[in-house]
Amino acid sequence: MNSRAALTCVLILTALSPGCGGRSASVLRAPTGDGGATPAPDSAGLTGFGPPRVLANKLDVPGSLAVDATHVYWTTRTRVMRVARQGGQVVSLATGQSFPSAVGVNSSHAFWIAANSPSGGSSLLTAPRAGGTPKRLASWTHHLGDRSGGPARLAVDGARLFWPAWRKLMTMTVGQSAAVVSTEAKLSVLAVDMDSTWVYWSTSPFEQIHPGEPGQVKRAHRGGQAHQMTLVASGATGVVRADGAHVYYLTDRGVARVPGSGGAAIRLATGVDPAGLAVRDGWVYWTDRGKGTVSRVRATGDAAETLASGQHTPTWVVVDAGGLFWISQGLGATGQVMTRPRR
């Protein structure tokens, strides 16, 4: 069974387990061993990053990833967790969740999607970054065969949220009612990103109800449904990122770029098994599950550079001014959160 099929199976099974509202924060001592892959040595001086470091390990199916100025956040099979960027105590912000995913943060709160039990469907939840009782912000129903539980990604900009809800792209200003931005006829909305003007999303080609349907990348104005446009008509397979000028997305065996206003797509990487995608300062970063690597290439196209190797199924990747972060999913409770701080 491949990793995509395995994740779908886990989502279906965990949707039947108790808990969505969860419990308040708890603190765990960070493990001392590496609990999984040993980062392979590389020429750190050539990349602008320090050597790879383990921030958290022995994690049970770590999922999505987010960072802020002080902490790194991720999900596991039943928890939403965080650790300081430099390492230390691992804190559970929420426990008793049913396969949470799509974590995002603003200046005060963390947000994520989790499956509902026993009623089915999913919910958007939030809790203070410092810990507290999770609160449900919105709920929706969906078919258990779809991919809307993960690797979904929501987008957070202050109090404004955009998130995938099965065949709908939803939005909300925290404290107000949710609204529908777009509804898909067949496929699931999977990943979301935004810039100062537009919101972008991808549709999943993996939904079991309509196998073989092409994945797409679309955009709409952040203010509502106006100016919707299909940027990529087929070939997209998941995560989408935007930098204000271009939209970057994953294909079945590569990474590609398309102008944010529409136009011809350019392939940036081929022959890879990508899972995560990040963009910053003219560089495009991705993880390769098959090769166990984290790599980058210039957004204008060039030879790819490997930043980490020897990883066990690397998935999510995030980069900011302070460093590079990714998840090495491992098998069972052997997952890790990794970093390469900037020099």
Enter the tokens of residue 281: 């300062």
Q: Tens of pLDDT along 185-238?
A: 878 888 999 999 999 999 875 544 445 567 899 999 998 777 899 999 998 988
Task: Give the neighbor-by-neighbor strand order of the sheet with 314-320.
Answer: 53-59, 335-341, 323-328, 314-320
Q: How far is CA 330 from CA 20, 79, 91, 140, in A?
A: 25, 17, 20, 31
- Check: CB of residue 314 under 8 Å from CB of residue 327: yes
Residue 326 burial class via C-beta count within 10 angstroms: exposed 0-12, middle 13-18, buried 19 and up: buried
Asked whether residue 299 is assigned to any structural domain, the reply reads yes
Asked whether residue 47 is assigned to any structural domain, the reply reads yes
Domain region containing 322: 31-60+273-343
Asked whether residue 341 is assigned to any structural domain, the reply reads yes
Enter the tokens of residue 130: 């410092």
Which pLDDT does position 227 carry in this prediction? Answer: 82
Asked whether residue 7 is assigned to any structural domain, the reply reads no
SS3 category, 301: coil
Asked whether residue 49 is assigned to any structural domain, the reply reads yes
Asked whether residue 317 is assigned to any structural domain, the reply reads yes
Partners of 81 in beta bridges: 74, 92
Domain count, the chain: 1
Q: Compute the distance between CA of residue 57 and CA of residue 256 in angstroms, rounded to an integer.
A: 31
Asked whether residue 145 is assigned to any structural domain, the reply reads no
What share of the chain in percent tops pLDDT 70?
80
pLDDT along the chain (343 residues), means of 10: 37 31 36 38 60 96 94 96 97 94 96 84 94 94 48 87 92 95 87 94 65 81 85 90 96 94 96 95 96 96 95 96 96 94 93
Which pLDDT does position 332 carry in this prediction? Answer: 83
Instruction: Tell me the average pLDDT of the chain.
Output: 83
Looking up residue 343, the CATH number of its domain turns out to be 2.40.10.500
Which residue in this structure is represented by tokens 């974590």?
A: 103
Q: Tens of pLDDT along 5-48?
A: 333 333 322 332 333 344 333 333 333 333 334 443 344 445 68
Which pLDDT does position 149 carry in this prediction? Answer: 36
- Check: CB of residue 327 under 8 Å from CB of residue 336: yes
pTM of this structure: 0.84
Partners of 170 in beta bridges: 163, 180
Q: Compute the distance between CA of residue 291 and CA of residue 152 in angstroms, rounded to an integer.
A: 23
- Check: CB of residue 269 under 8 Å from CB of residue 285: no
Asked whether residue 196 is assigned to any structural domain, the reply reads no
- Check: CB of residue 104 under 8 Å from CB of residue 110: yes
Phi-psi region of 158 (alpha: psi -120 to 50; beta: other; left: phi over 0): left
Which pLDDT does position 224 carry in this prediction? Answer: 76
